[in-house]
Chain A
Amino acid sequence: MQPQSYASITRDTLETLKRPRRTYWLVILILLALCLAFFAAWGYQIHQGMGVTGLGNPVGWGTYITTMVFWIGIAHAGTLISAILLLLRARWRTSIYRISEAVTIFALATAGMFPLLHMGRLWVGFYILPYPSDRQLWPNFQSPLVWDVLAISTYLTVSLMFFLIGLIPDFAILRDNSRGMKKKIMTVLAMGWQGTARQWKHYSAGYLLFAALATPLVISVHSVVSWDFAMSILPGWHTTIFAPYFVAGAILSGLAMVMTILIPMRKIMRLEHIITAWHLGSMAKMTILVSLIVGYAYVVEYFIAWYSGNSYEQYIFSYRPTGEYAYVFWIMVVCNAVMPLLFFIQKCRQDLRIMFVISILINVGMWFERYNIIVSTLSRDFLPFAWGSYRMSWVEATILIGSFGLFFLLVLLFVKHLPSIAATEIKETLTAPRMESNEPQTSREIAQVDSKEIIS
């Protein structure tokens, strides 16, 4: 592939924003239809009451909460890649972090719908927010659900700001390289960025700080989500490993989703030379690690249940792989703890088709993981006589599928209208152009060249 230069990067970035093909709009239409179905079903539910779901007593949470946790999980990869890897100075993040951040935000936006969706009285849902009312009615800050609200809204806000900060220099590029309406918009968005020394100074400082803030945040968010369950007293929920277990799960699903998006995207948008097999390979390696952690958590859960000598715990854990929801359990185990291990084989890391399939399987597996945790525990708790089971209703199914429509719609609109590869940061990874020789001069440049050689 031809050597990359600042100019070529700019060119490629602009390339991605060229007027799309007709198929693009076709896909957009389909996704729009899905969104429509999503909101139609929701409206129906609001009108009819929660009775249109498959929920009941004792299973009060089902598809909605499962899907909420799923999407929040998806969100985590973005922050992981953009913040944590930034702090770890992992070079391979640069060309993919923008898209992963976008995934974070869109996933969160989608996830945010679900608490509202599952609420019995949506119209008074605002009671849960800490707002001053004349009767001084405040939410109960002991409730994990209130933690949820705070954590998720914080997470969304922070990621959004992080995202914008990162975008500004690229907005400037677009501003300087487009005309007409687009130029006007970009001029506004770039907010007069011109890359002066002073701007770079504060920018870099702020950017690092953001990474530093986002990192503990991302850990906390999924911990809090896990506490929705761990703070209860139900067998199979009330356990201390949930926080790390959920965080790992979240990252796994996030990585998988990013792969699922990148692999087709780099092909369609001809970004093979920017998002190289090397980048995806590194993600695959990352996936192995996380998957192993998740698998470990599965095993440890069983150890705890056995070691506790607590018959309630023991029952639920023997029920999961054998009971009514056994299929869920086994899908979960195979997709999350077994399939990713294929990445140990180098061929699987290099063959993008295999990688793509595995990434999809992980997504499926992670959804079922949450379903397994939520539904099986609720349907079999303390008093056997009150046990019951749950079946997803068509409304819930529609909303589940619709949420994917919503998510991918946002992603597709993004990649065609905003710089989905971080031009500026990629430039930083290149060797700066020099007169005498284009040999690397600074330590950083040397480092990166080495790493490139090692990979390829």
Chain B
Amino acid sequence: MMKNPIDRRTFLKWMGVGGTAGLLPACTDAPVRHLYAYLSPAAGVVPGVANWYSSTCRDCPAGCGVLVKTREGRPIKLEGHPASPINRGALCLRGQSAIQALYDPDRYPDPRIGRPGHTKKTTPEKAQKYVAESILGQIKPGARMALLTGGQTATSRWFYSEMAARWGAKWIAYEPIQFSALKRASQNLFGFDEVPRVDLSKADFILNLGADLFESWLSPVEHAGQLAQKHGFAHQERIGFVCMSPRKDLTAASADCWISVRPSSFGILALGLANQLLDRSGLNDETKSLLAGWLRPFTLEKVSLQTGCAADILMKISEKLIAAKMPLVLPPNECLLGEQASKEQEAILLLNYILGSVGRSVVYGQNTFYSQLDPAREVANLLQAGTDGEISTLVIVKRDPVYEWPDAGAVKKALEKIPLVVLISEGPNETSPYAHVVLPATHALEAWGDFQTRADWISVQQPVVKPPARQKQPEDWLIGISRSMAEPLAWMDYRQVLAQQWVGLQQQLDQNQSSTDFFKQALAGGGLKLEHEEHPQVELMKAELRFESKTTQADAHPWLLVYPSARLYDGCTANRPWIQEVPDALTQVVWDTPIEISSELAAGLLFQDGDRVKVAGAGGNLEATVRVMPGARHDVVAFPLGGGKKISGRFASGRGGRAWSLLRPMLDPDGGGLVMLQTRISLVRAGRGSLLTVEGDPTTHGRPIVPAVDLKDALKGRGPDLGMPGGHAPAPAGAKKSAMRSFYTTHEYPKHKWGMVVDLDLCTGCSACVLACQAENNIATVGPKQIRPGREMHWMRIERYWTELDSPMGPQARFIPIMCQHCDNAPCEPVCPVFASYHTKDGLNAQVYNRCIGTRYCANNCPYKVRRFNWTRHRWPGALRMQLNPDVTVRTPGVMEKCTFCIQRIREKMNLASHENRDLKSDEIVLACVQTCPTGALQFGDLNRPDSKVSRMAKDFRAYRLLDDYLNTKPAVSYLCKVNRNPFPLLG
């Protein structure tokens, strides 16, 4: 959803910056570590005033546009780019944390060459020369060069293929998380060898077969936004959204309902539904009859038998699909697929085809990022070739095969056989010890580039700061190397490549503009809008799927379900303290990757939370901490990727277990992708460990903390029931009652009264806000040791409660973001002996750090437990301190701190307004958490202004204030309760 539409001012701002940004890397020669607030500011830098650069987030294939906030030439925060059609101003928690990768204290400062594992530091020139010579020297018959990179799009794609061609190198663009089966299925069914773009905004009923929309699937932020718009009660359509999958993930938690199905039964499921819907579909009769020929056997009874999902539920779902005008079935994240991966995807695509959503909400011809990846088979071949000594040189660009390939042993063996392994990487990773040459790579925020994952948009990536040391962006290393091989190149560096490409682009699009302006404009706008060509017509090219529907024989051992978590994704974010310390939304575990076991299974095996267990899979075994998950399937055990690194930096190393090591490199014969749902595992208790969690008690004890209303009541305008158990009568809702019950005259808020509204029906628990808050407010990370006594410092937390424990639909996870409620009758204030905590005239609950003497009474007396005490002196090792926001105090040991409603942002806008002597625009102030929320669940504004969003929403019938009925604290934060939509009342 559009947060703040880009007005002229902001556009000009970015544009101007776009111009200077080009110069910036050139003009600041001092290493970034020595950038202070200047005495005489450099060009385009006003001390105390932030510069905003637009760029692209490269932490996952979604390619969200970002605005980089820099102060005194130093990037301090990322925010989503409002102009980007992908994320529309929002950003996920990984994107928020990207800034910490920029300041990662473990980054390589210099190139290193030498014996693998014993490389010595050297100069860039020497390194390039060395590589060049060895490449030239080692060209031997049969042996060839190989290039292993991550996914590349737009210019970089052209560039790598160019380089590969020059060197006669085999280029493999590989990502461990990809959709090769879906790609293959599209090829088989429709003849498009690509991964479609899925557009939720063009659907009115969504059946989600295991797509983790908010975590890693295709484009999380985009989908979260789209779904919110269609599904959220606050918005008009309120479409149905049903999840069927073996694992109850974040997405399932915010669906109308989650229907658990057996692992690797999506295909059958899809075919069963297809069979049901076939007759009602708008296909022409001969296709129908063709399909009918082989679809008939997939009766609901049969399907229900194999999927473990009741026939009448399937019936109801098919009815819903029929009833819907624009139904959409989401294909799963492929970590949920078994050896029939592509077949299952085919089945799902077929179902979509029958529903008519292919070409409407499942669109091809988009050249999405995933379409441009090579499947795992290529890597397997590469390794084979390496082991057979057919590879002379392997250049690895920002990838970590030793870590992210299931069979690490095979990779090591191959690498040892390859005479020259060049690793271009930002910091050390598991592959480093096997590289002869390590070249330090820049972070995305220090590099040029462009990125395209949809037909109508190319986003641009520009450096916002000079690399701290001898880092170069990988493309520049390659150019450097080939130049030292004395090859004639048209360009000195990658920036010129980019320029050249964009000149081409400009030639196509509009000649009447100078190419520099054209590029600047693209930079300023965060990217370039391309005129949208029509979706290609899609025909079914294959009428029959040969689908072996084998019933999984009963087996005591559960399936292992390895998944990319919202925090760690494929592990690329593991060396960021913020990421390690932000609790996983569902497990609420920090600094660890726990193995998620259903309560049922745990009870059977006598496991408890925090037990250490030996996990043995097909590929190998590891030890992990148990996390018991209510409502999970007993025949599935989930384990997140991204743990178990050994030498990839101080924060990642030794945290959690390496899920890959449980798998073996098993390939989908058709799609050639890795089969990730491939092994059952055995679990043996290894002893008592400790679960690093911030969770106290996950049940509400019947307290009105996360009340919900049923849809039918909500439609009647009935609010939540705030009654307490034990006969304590609920008070009539709202502020009137509070005033009535108040012992004192209420205080006046002459001008402003800041307030917040959180729509729990929109909150997905994705935790982006938590990290945005952390980035904005210099909130320290405390490390694993401090978690046990409860010393985490987050000003904002997402509480996850398990409710409706006895409902037939299984326990429901309810999320509630809790920050300081800025109560009018704040319990924390009167108990402070020194007035360190008091109430401001505009309704903020202020905390005066240098007045605080640290009695901690305020924290004790805070019913929301949002106050955080500085127990120790916090550290920002290495360059991490460069990220600190100069507008916010860094708190000393012994003082209390808490959410301030980003007071620095409030004051900034107020000053701006008074400077331009005007009143604040309503909703002009945007807090860090509000800004980043992908679903727009958070709203902030002036409760004194009738025209502000918050004052309207606070009057909503769903609005309630936490504990206010009992404590009469009069919080400034209102929550709009969740709406329970159980589409199957008979069963639910």
Contacts and interface: CB of A to CB of B under 8 A. Distances in A.
Interface of A: 48-51, 54-61, 115, 118-121, 124-125, 127-128, 137, 139-140, 142-146, 149, 228, 231-234, 309-312, 314-315, 378, 381-388, 390-391
Contact of B727 (A125, A137, A309): A309
Q: Which of B851, B869, B963 has its CB near the most chain A CB atoms (within 10 A)?
A: B869
A310 B724 contact: yes
A150 to B, nearest CB: 11
Contacts of A311: 701-703, 724-726, 728
A407 B855 CA distance: 24
B876 interface: no
B698 A385 contact: yes
Given A140-B832, A384-B703, A233 B863 contact: yes
A48 B893 CA distance: 9
B827 interface: yes
Interface in B844-883: 851-857, 859-861, 863-865, 867-873
B835 interface: yes
B871 A55 contact: yes
A377 B797 CA distance: 22
* 4 shortest interchain CB distances as A-B pairs: A120-B854, A387-B696, A120-B894, A56-B789
Interface in B669-723: 695-703, 705
A385 B701 CA distance: 10
Contacts of B868: 57
Given A56-B790, A139-B833, A309-B727, A51 B703 contact: no
Contacts of A234: 860-861, 863
Contacts of B861: 232-234
Nearest to A306: B726
B869 A60 contact: yes
B967 interface: yes
B499 interface: no
Query: Which of A55, A120, A144, A388 has the largest number of chain B CB atoms within 10 A?
Result: A120
Contacts of B892: 121
A125 B853 CA distance: 6
A59 B833 CA distance: 19
B109 interface: no
A54 B871 CA distance: 10
16 contacts: A50-B893, A51-B872, A56-B791, A60-B860, A118-B855, A120-B853, A121-B853, A144-B831, A231-B831, A234-B863, A309-B728, A378-B860, A381-B863, A384-B697, A385-B698, A388-B696
Contacts of B502: none
Contact of A55 (B789, B800, B855, B895): B789
Contacts of B541: none
Given A312-B966, A385-B800, A140 B870 contact: no
A383 B871 CA distance: 22
B791 A51 contact: yes
A127 B835 CA distance: 10
B761 interface: no
B506 to A, nearest CB: 54
Contact of B873 (A49, A309, A378, A388): A49
Contact of B831 (A56, A145, A309, A314): A145
Nearest to B724: A311
A48 B966 contact: no
A380 to B, nearest CB: 8
A49 B701 contact: no
A142 B830 contact: yes
A140 B865 contact: no
A49 B870 CA distance: 8
Contacts, number: 185
Contacts of B913: none
A57 B227 CA distance: 36
B828 to A, nearest CB: 10
Contact of A145 (B699, B786, B827, B855): B855
Contacts of A120: 852-856, 869-870, 893-896
B696 A143 contact: no
Contacts of A228: 857
A87 to B, nearest CB: 34
Contact of A140 (B700, B834, B859, B864): B834
Given A145-B857, A309-B726, A309-B728, A232 B831 contact: yes
B894 A383 contact: no
A61 B853 contact: no
A25 B870 CA distance: 43
Contacts of B702: 311
B834 A121 contact: no
A57 B700 contact: no
A127 B837 CA distance: 14
Interface in B719-761: 724-728
User: Which interface class (under 10, 10 to 19, 20 to 34, 35 or more) fits B?
Assistant: 35 or more
Of B800, B833, B861, the most chain A CB neighbours within 10 A belong to: B833
Contact of B818 (A61, A128, A149, A383): A383
Most buried by A among B700, B834, B852, B859: B834
A124 B800 CA distance: 38
Contacts of A124: 853
B819 to A, nearest CB: 13
B860 A119 contact: no
A311 B896 CA distance: 30
Nearest to B705: A383
B801 interface: yes
B790 A388 contact: yes
Contacts of B894: 49-50, 119-121
A119 to B, nearest CB: 5
B865 A57 contact: yes
A142 B895 CA distance: 20
A128 B853 contact: yes
Contacts of B668: none
A57 B791 contact: yes
Contacts of A127: 833-834, 851, 853
Nearest to B969: A233
B690 to A, nearest CB: 13
Nearest to B836: A127
A316 B106 CA distance: 47
A58 B792 CA distance: 11
B799 interface: yes
A318 to B, nearest CB: 11
A382 B893 contact: no
Contact of A315 (B701, B833, B867): B701
Given A49-B893, A381-B865, A384-B703, 12 more contacts: A56-B871, A58-B859, A58-B865, A60-B856, A61-B860, A119-B854, A137-B834, A137-B835, A233-B861, A234-B863, A381-B863, A384-B705
B872 A143 contact: no
Interface in B791-845: 791-792, 799-801, 818, 827, 830-835
Given A54-B789, A232-B831, A119 B853 contact: yes
B783 to A, nearest CB: 11
Nearest to B835: A140
A119 B791 CA distance: 17
B696 A384 contact: yes
Contacts of B859: 57-58, 60
A61 B855 CA distance: 9
A383 B694 CA distance: 13
Contacts of A60: 856-857, 859-860, 869
Contacts of B851: 127, 137
Contacts of A378: 860
Contacts of A385: 695-698, 705, 799-801
A384 B865 CA distance: 10
Interface centre among B696, B725, B851, B967 (most CB of A within 10 A): B696
Contacts of B696: 58, 383-388
A234 B857 CA distance: 11
Nearest to A54: B789
A352 B252 CA distance: 70
A7 B868 CA distance: 65
Contacts of A386: 696, 799, 864-865
